[in-house]
Amino acid sequence: MKELKILSPSGIVGYGFPEDSFWAGVALKPDLIACDAGSTDPGPYYLGSGVPFTNATAVKRDLKLMLKAACQLNIPLVIGSMGSSGTDVQMARELATIREIAKEENLSFKMAVVSSEFEKQTLVEALQDGKIEKLGPAPMPTEADILESTHIVAQMGIEPIIKALDDGAQVVICGRCYDPAAFAAPAIRLGYDKALSLHLGKILECAAICATPGSASDCIMGYLGEDYFCVEPVSPERKCTPTSVSAHTLYEKSNPYILPGPGGHLDLSDCVFTADSDRRVRVTGSRFVPEAVPSVKLEGAKEAGCRTLSICGNRDPIFISQLDDILENVKKRTADNLSADFDYRLDFIVYGKNGVMGALEPQTEVTSHEVGIVIDVVAPTQEHANAVCAVARSTMLHYGYPGRIATAGNLAFPFSPSDIKVGPVYVFSVYALLRTEHPETLFTPVYEEVGK
């Protein structure tokens, strides 16, 4: 079995990558170019709103290089989670860009588009039939959660990609996709070991993050053999080591040895990471354990109101020493001064105290000479959020605390206007497993001859 070569240009389409690295990778004659294009990592806003996480100009630049190289080499290009969260509306923008590039660059290819978005009624029926299961700490979704969601996607596995390639597609554009699938599916289709293919996909989907120095904006090559895979960065400025690659194997996992995905999980407890050279690492020992009944992960989001923020700072040691009491009293006075007849949430994120980890922060004492405070309000409407933020901000600005010396104001504001109207806020509403004995029936490729 010949060694299969896979080029991963970037951690996400739109993150960018050096052209010299990319064309050096193309010169190595890869058998596949694959790239991830997003996830729900940036939070529920992009899934709920359908707004792409990545910039259109940056996405077009990356896609143009990848499409030109795939056509030049006559090899497949597979992209997963197109448009960020893989919703149909996000994919529409990127598909229009692909057609535009093909016209501008005189490219032609057969393209498969695989939607991952579900009709709500279909999922309501699946819920009623007991096919939807709770996932981890997330609550079990209700019918109301499903119906109130603006978008619900399922994380597809390898099956629809394999079907698209079997049907002659050269370019495969997927909605929400299991991150390793875009890299693993073409290899599994050709008979390579499933576990090694998926594990390699797990490493490649973040591009050169597994190298040192790591970067999601540089290219990496994967080499897949019968009983091993290797990874090596394209740029001479980076190298892979057993430590850097094994460390990335632990990335985004709750269990260091188990990586769940559609249809089963990877067992990595017997993996061995060996240096083939000072910049190339060989991996062996990955195993795939199938589920009795396959599943796909459902992700949905719904609108939860509107947000207004105000960013301010304070460097008075007397104020800072009483900060917890001040913030608690500002919340109470805001409620009294506003007498709101609507529900709202008022929070304070304090940088210099626990702004990053919140209640999990083990260091409770403020040791910095200043703090940054974000006043965060979510309410049913933008006007309601504006009102709460304005009252909270003015209350804290002029709050009188024991030992206060100056009365001109407690806060410094870097921006004018001080209050930032963010707009709609979304929360995850569906995060669960959908059991199905035939996952290939959930995702149907649609084909298009582009540039012809």
Q: Report the 3 state secondary structure along 279-322.
A: CCEEEECCEEEECCCCEEEEEEEEEEEEEEEEEEEECCHHHHHC
* Whether 237 contacts 259, CB under 8 Å: no
Using pLDDT thresholds of 50, 70 and 90, give the confidence band for residue 332.
Answer: very high
Q: What residues contact 20, with CB distance under 8 A and at least 6 apart? A: none
Share of the chain above pLDDT 70, in %: 100
Average pLDDT, the chain: 95
The whole-number pLDDT of residue 251 equals 80
Q: How confident is the model at residue 253 (pLDDT cuts 50, 70, 90)?
A: confident
Beta pairing, strands 220-224 & 229-233: antiparallel
Q: For the segment 377-408, what is each residue's pLDDT rounded down to a tens digit?
A: 999 999 999 999 999 999 999 999 999 988 88
The total of other beta-carbon atoms located within 10 Å of residue 158's CB is: 28
Q: Answer yes or no: are the C-beta atoms of 266 and 202 closer than 8 Å.
A: yes
- Give the integer Cα–Cα distance in Å for 326 and 311: 17
Single-letter code of the amino acid located at 6: I
Q: Is the pLDDT of residue 452 over 80?
A: no
Q: Does the pLDDT at position 143 exceed 90? A: yes
Residues 6+ apart with CB under 8 A from 310: 374, 375, 389, 392, 393, 413, 418, 419, 420
Give the containing element (helix H, strand E) for 246. Answer: helix 242-249
The 3-class secondary structure across 64-124, one letter per residue, is HHHHHHHHHHCCCEEEECCCCCCCHHHHHHHHHHHHHHHHHHCCCEEEEEECCECCHHHHH
Max Cα-Cα span within the chain: 79
Q: How many CB atoms lie within 10 A of CB 320?
A: 18
The model's pLDDT over 178-189, given as tens digits with 9 standing for 90+, comes to: 999 999 999 999
Asked if residues 318 and 403 have their Cβ atoms less than 8 Å apart, the reply is yes
pLDDT at 182: 98
CA 206 to chain centre: 11
pTM: 0.92
Mean pLDDT to the nearest integer, 62-83: 97
Q: What is the mean predicted confidence (pLDDT) over 115-139? A: 95
Task: Identify the sign of the CA torsion 265, 181, 190, 220.
Answer: negative
Kindly give, in sequence order, each residue whose CB lies less than 8 Å from that of residue 371, ignoring residues fewer than 6 positions away: 313, 314, 315, 320, 323, 350, 351, 352, 353
Structure tokens at 128: 């009623």
For the chain, how big is the Rg over CA atoms in Å?
Answer: 25
What pLDDT is recorded for position 448? 97
In order of 15, 77, 145, 173, 206, the CA distances from 37 in angstroms are 9, 13, 27, 10, 10
pLDDT of residue 104: 97
The boundaries of every CATH 3.30.70 domain in the chain are 300-427
What's the confidence (pLDDT) of residue 41?
87
**Residues 208-221: tens digit of each pLDDT:** 999 999 999 999 99
Burial of residue 159, with CB atoms counted within 10 A of its CB: 0-12 exposed, 13-18 middle, 19 or more buried: buried
| CATH entry 3.30.70 includes domain 300-427 | yes
CA torsion, ordered 449, 66, 188, 249, to nearest 10 deg: -150
Q: What is the pLDDT of residues 161-172, one digit of tens each?
A: 999 999 999 999
Look up residue 440 and give its amino acid.
E
